[in-house]
Structure 1
Amino acid sequence: MEGYATADQVWGAALVFARLGAILMLLPGLGETYVPPRIRLSLALVITLVVWPIAAPVLPALPESVGGMAGWVIREVATGLMIGAILRAFMTALATAGEVVSLQTTLSFAQSTNPMQAQPGSTLSAFLTLLGVTLLFANNTHHLFLAGLAGSYELIAPVRPLITADFVELAVRTLADSFMLGIQLAAPVIVFAIIFNLASGLVGRVMPQFQVFFATAPLSILLGLSIFTLSLGVVGTIFIDRYRSLAQIFAGGAGG
C-alpha cells in the first residue's frame, strides 16, 4: 500500500467516499432506484478522487483504534444522508402540486408508478417530478450539486462539531417551504376549480332538473388541464429558481 498511497491518504479518501456516497444515494436524478448501483458507485469513486485534495486539510488524522475509525465513518455517512435528504425533500413540492391539480381536475384516481418516489401516485404528480429532474439537468443545476459536494467540507468540516440542530431546523424549513411552493404552483388550477365549482353550484340551484355533474365533469377536466398546461412554463421557472437557491446553501462553501 505504501508504494501507491500512505495510510493517511487511504483513510482520508475513505472518509470522503463515505460522505459523497451517502449524498449520491439520495441526490435527485442520480440517486434514483432506476440508476444502476454500479453507476452510482463509480460516480462516487470518481468524484472522491476529485474532492479529496480539496477536503484533505480539514480531514481528521487516522485514529489508532477501530472504534474511532467506525465513529468517524458513521459521522460522515450521517452528514451525507442529511445533506442528500434535504436536497431530495424539496422535490416533494412538485409532487404536492401534481396531487393538488389532480384533485381539482378529478384525475386523482388515475394512478401510475412515480419513479422519483418509488411508489404509486397520480399521473400528473409523476409527470411534474420527472419534469423537475429534467429541468435540473437542462439548467445545469447539477453543477451546483457537484460544487456543493466540495463546499460541504467548508460548511460542515469533519473536525468541527456536528450541527444537528441546524440540520433539523433546515430540514423542517425545507419541508414547509416545499409544501407551500407546491400549493403556490397549483394556485392557477385551484382558483379555476373554486370559480368553476361555484358556477356549477349556482347552475344546479337555478335548474335542479339539469344534470350538472354529467355536463361539468368533462369541462372541469378539459379546462383544468388547459390551465395547467399554460402554467407549466411558470411552474418550471419558479421551481428551478427556488431549487437553485437551496443548492446554493451548500455550494456557497466551494465558492468561498
Structure 2
Amino acid sequence: MLEMAVLAAFLAFCRIGACMMLMPGLGSARVPMQVRLFLAVSVSLALLVHLWEAIAPHVSRPPSELLLLIASELALGALIGLVVRFYVLALQFIGSAITMLSGFGMAAADVAVEENNPQPAMAAIISLAALMLLFALDFHHAIFRALIASYELAPVSVLFNPRSALIDLSDTLSEAFFVMIRLGSPFVAYAILVNLAVGFLNKLAPQIPLYFISLPFVIAGGLILLYFGIGTFLALFADGFIPTTLGR
C-alpha cells in the first residue's frame, strides 16, 4: 500500500510539477529552485486526494509501462505550463515593442521579470504589473483547476499525443499574437503618426536635426499614452487569459 501511494504521488508530481516549473510567476528565474521544488511537491500532495482514483489504478503496471506513463505525464504537464507561459511571453514581446515605439529603444536594458535576459525598463514594468494582476485574480488557482480537469480530458492511461500538443501550442501562439496586437495598436498608431509628422517637419527644415530634438517629446507622448491606457491594457490582458490559454 505504501509503495502504491508513493508511485501515485510521483505520477501526480510528474504532471503537476512539470506544469509549475514552466508556468509564469512560480516558474520564474527570480524564484529559487528549492522554493519551486517545494511548492511543486506540496501542490502535488495536496491535489493527490482529488486525483487518487484517476492515478492509483495505473501504478501497478510493469516498469516498462510505468516509464512510458512518467514520460507522458511530464510532457502533458509541460504542455499546460507552456500554453500559459506563451501568453505571458507574448506580453513581454508587445512590451518590448511598446518600448521601441515610445522612443525608449536607446535606453539601457534591465533584468527581465521572468528570465535572466535583459529587458527594457518599460517592458519590465508592464510585465510585472500584468503578472501581479494575474496573481491578484487567482490565475494560479485556475491553472490548478485545469490540471485536475486534465485528468478527465487526458487520463493517465492515454499517452501524450505530440500532434495534438503542437496544434494547441500553435493555436495559443496565434491567438496570443492577435490579442497583443490589439493591446499594442494605440502605440503602433502613435508611432506611425509621430514619425510621419517628424519626417514632414524634417523635409521642411532639413538644416535642423529635428529627429534628436523631437525625441524627448516622443517619449513624453508615449508615457502619457501609457499613463491613460495602462488600466484598459491590463484589463484586456486579464480578460483574454482564460479564453486564450486554459479555455480551449
Cα distance, 1:210 vs structure 2: 3.2
The separation in 1 between residues aligned to 2:82 and 2:230, in whole angstroms, is 26
Q: Which residue of 1 aligns with 2:66?
A: 69
For 2:7, which of 7, 11, 20 is the aligned residue? 11
Cα distance, 1:12 vs structure 2: 1.3
The separation in 2 between residues aligned to 1:216 and 1:18, in whole angstroms, is 55
Q: Contact 1:8 / 1:61 at 8 angstroms: preserved in 2?
A: no
Q: Contact 1:17 / 1:45 at 8 angstroms: preserved in 2?
A: yes
The separation in 2 between residues aligned to 1:181 and 1:129, in whole angstroms, is 15
Cα distance, 1:247 vs structure 2: 4.8
Q: Which residue of 2 aligns with 1:145?
A: 143
Q: Which residue of 1 aligns with 2:37?
A: 41
- 2:23 paired with 1:24: no
- The change in CA–CA distance for 1:248 and 1:173 in structure 2 (over 3 A counts) is closer
For 2:52, which of 37, 56, 60 is the aligned residue? 56
The separation in 2 between residues aligned to 1:76 and 1:199, in whole angstroms, is 56
Please state whether the residue corresponding to 1:231 is helix, strand or coil. helix
The separation in 2 between residues aligned to 1:242 and 1:18, in whole angstroms, is 28
The separation in 2 between residues aligned to 1:225 and 1:50, in whole angstroms, is 45
Name segments (4+ residues, structure 1) moved above 4 Å. Answer: none
One-letter amino acid of the counterpart of residue 16, structure 1: A
Give matches, 1:1-256, under 5 Å: 5-59=1-55, 60-110=57-107, 111-249=109-247
The separation in 2 between residues aligned to 1:76 and 1:108, in whole angstroms, is 42
Bigger mean CA offset, 52-61 vs 191-200: 52-61
Bigger mean CA offset, 157-166 vs 236-245: 157-166
Please state whether the residue corresponding to 2:131 is helix, strand or coil. helix
One-letter amino acid of the counterpart of residue 162, structure 1: F
> Normalising by the residue count of structure 1, what TM-score does the alignment of the two structures yield?
0.88
- The change in CA–CA distance for 1:109 and 1:207 in structure 2 (over 3 A counts) is closer
The separation in 2 between residues aligned to 1:104 and 1:208, in whole angstroms, is 23
One-letter amino acid of the counterpart of residue 25, structure 2: G
The separation in 2 between residues aligned to 1:74 and 1:162, in whole angstroms, is 8
Q: Contact 1:25 / 1:84 at 8 angstroms: preserved in 2?
A: yes
Bigger mean CA offset, 219-228 vs 176-185: 176-185
- State, as a whole percentage, how many aligned pairs show the same letter: 27
Aligned length: 246
1:74-106 per-residue CA deviation (whole Å, 9 max, x = no partner) reads: 111111111111110110221122111121122
Bigger mean CA offset, 142-151 vs 209-218: 209-218
> Normalising by the residue count of structure 2, what TM-score does the alignment of the two structures yield?
0.91
The separation in 1 between residues aligned to 2:101 and 2:113, in whole angstroms, is 23
Please state whether the residue corresponding to 2:93 is helix, strand or coil. helix
- The change in CA–CA distance for 1:19 and 1:211 in structure 2 (over 3 A counts) is same
- Structure 2: segments with no counterpart, 5+ residues: none
